Amino acid sequence: MNNIKIPLDESDIPRQWYNLAADLPTPPLPPLGPDGKPIGPEMLAPVFPMNLIEQEVSTKRWIDIPEEILDILYRWRPTPLRRAVYLEKYLDTPARIYFKDESVSPPGSHKPNTAVAQAWYNKQFGIKKITTETGAGQWGSALAFACKLLELECKVFMVRISFDQKPFRKMMMQVWGANCVASPSPETNAGRKVLEEMPDTPGSLGIAISEAIEQAVTDKSGKTRYSLGSVLNHVLLHQTIIGLEAKKQMAQIGEKSPDIVIGCAGGGSNFAGLSFPFVADKINGADIKIVPVEPTACPTMTRGPFAYDFGDTACTTPLLAMFTLGHAFIPPPIHAGGLRYHGMAPLICQAIVEGLMEPRAYHQLESYEAALIWARTEGFIPAPETSQALAAVIDEAKKAKEEGKEKMILFNYSGHGLMDLTGYDAYLSGKLTDFELPETELKKYTKALESYPKAEVRKSGKW
């Protein structure tokens, strides 16, 4: 049973991030401003520091990782690549299943890979304070962690219902010294307005984003910026260290290319982090199936139209060309809170348009069934988001058995489920249900998109 954990020496950590924008055969459509024209970098300057904006618009293939960022990542990186031998045995499959274990970071997920990088670039730019929003708290806790290690102030607007019902992520943020308040809060115009109209509102991610952006752009010192944990190009870029490490680890044990690469996708950052270096191989001719997995409750990639839409509910962002369920869509309360997003990272969407990826959706109950199989064979308890990927992994392993093929499956174990045990409790006591978005609902929310500029489907036709 040897070699189920494949470490990577610290000295072999990747020293550059990989930028898929350099290699996509057809470039993604540009973000549009309120005038319907492509926005320039300067329009983002009040929100993000210029060094991150440069990464956001860069088409350079490789971007150096500053040594000081690596110095923080060494606390948990390189993460182990592991082989799921116990699951393989349970499924009696000829498939070899490998996973990149991103759950080993202090906040328990892949999120700090970009939180640390963003905090560092903000600090370099002279920023003293970063604001953000968080739903269940994965992203907020990762940014709190990063800001503490870099001695930046961190302000997190946490959706009120999570703030009240799930206090543990909030406590994590406080351990790392962040100021976490329930949103809507009385601290911003956006928050006060909502509180006046609906004093008992549970809050929403849309409101929290508005508050975080408002607090960043109205700080008169000019030393505050806003930070986002997924969707944007520079966020995905920082996550590619995952896939680049995995490649080195596979080479170390003599494994060639995976046949199938799988990850769950909400805004897309953990999936992109693992898969983009393999998308590059696919563009160069490798035969790889690349599968982003989403919940049927929020079927952005599998049922949403490719269209220009806002990234947030409050319509404060530029228009992004992506698969979307409409920015007003509020996903049902599934436990995989990190996958409850109406849109998807534009880079991923363009790769789907090109035919480089094959998105797939799973029901909530299927994902919990997969999670229990995992916890009872491999031993570790996965996050509900990660469990969506697991459902696809198990399906592919079963298919390999049926076909008698020795497929190699690689997936991203994006986080542990220790802060999400209530979902397991609900599943085990039979209280969980599946959600399927009715067609009429979908049409209701995507109708608004017709009034925006049309997103042209452009592809090379090679896949």
Binding site for its own copies (CB under 8 A): 1-5, 7, 9-11, 70-71, 74-76, 86, 104, 106, 108, 145, 148-149, 167-168, 171-172, 174-177, 372, 375-381, 418-419, 421-422, 424-425, 428
Smaller CB separation from its own copies, 5 or 454: 5
Smaller CB separation from its own copies, 275 or 386: 386
Exposed/middle/buried for residue 284 (C-beta within 10 Å: 0-12, 13-18, 19+): exposed
Torsion of CA 285, 288, 289, 290, to 10 degrees: -90
Smaller CB separation from its own copies, 176 or 306: 176
- Say how far apart CA 316 and CA 330 lie, in whole Å: 17
Smaller CB separation from its own copies, 62 or 86: 86
Smaller CB separation from its own copies, 177 or 202: 177
Nearest partner of 336 among 447, 427, 262, judged by Cα = 427
User: C-beta of 118: minimal distance to its own copies in Å?
Assistant: 16
User: C-beta of 382: minimal distance to its own copies in Å?
Assistant: 10
Helices (H), 65-176: 67-73, 85-91, 112-124, 138-149, 160-165, 167-175
Smaller CB separation from its own copies, 328 or 372: 372
- Say how far apart CA 458 and CA 162 lie, in whole Å: 40
User: C-beta of 224: minimal distance to its own copies in Å?
Assistant: 22
User: C-beta of 74: minimal distance to its own copies in Å?
Assistant: 5
User: C-beta of 70: minimal distance to its own copies in Å?
Assistant: 8
Q: Residues 6 or more apart from 395 whose CB is under 8 A from it?
A: none
Q: Residues 6 or more apart from 35 whose CB is under 8 A from it?
A: none
Contact assessment for residue 200 and residue 164, using Cβ atoms and an 8 Å cutoff: no
Place of tokens 């970071």: 105
β-strand pairing of 81-83 with 5-6: antiparallel
Smaller CB separation from its own copies, 10 or 403: 10
Smaller CB separation from its own copies, 148 or 248: 148
User: C-beta of 6: minimal distance to its own copies in Å?
Assistant: 10
Q: How much of the chain is helix, strand and coil, in % rounded to 5?
A: 45, 15, 40
User: C-beta of 114: minimal distance to its own copies in Å?
Assistant: 16
User: C-beta of 163: minimal distance to its own copies in Å?
Assistant: 13
- For residue 416, the tally of other CB atoms under 10 A from its CB is 19
- Say how far apart CA 104 and CA 79 lie, in whole Å: 7
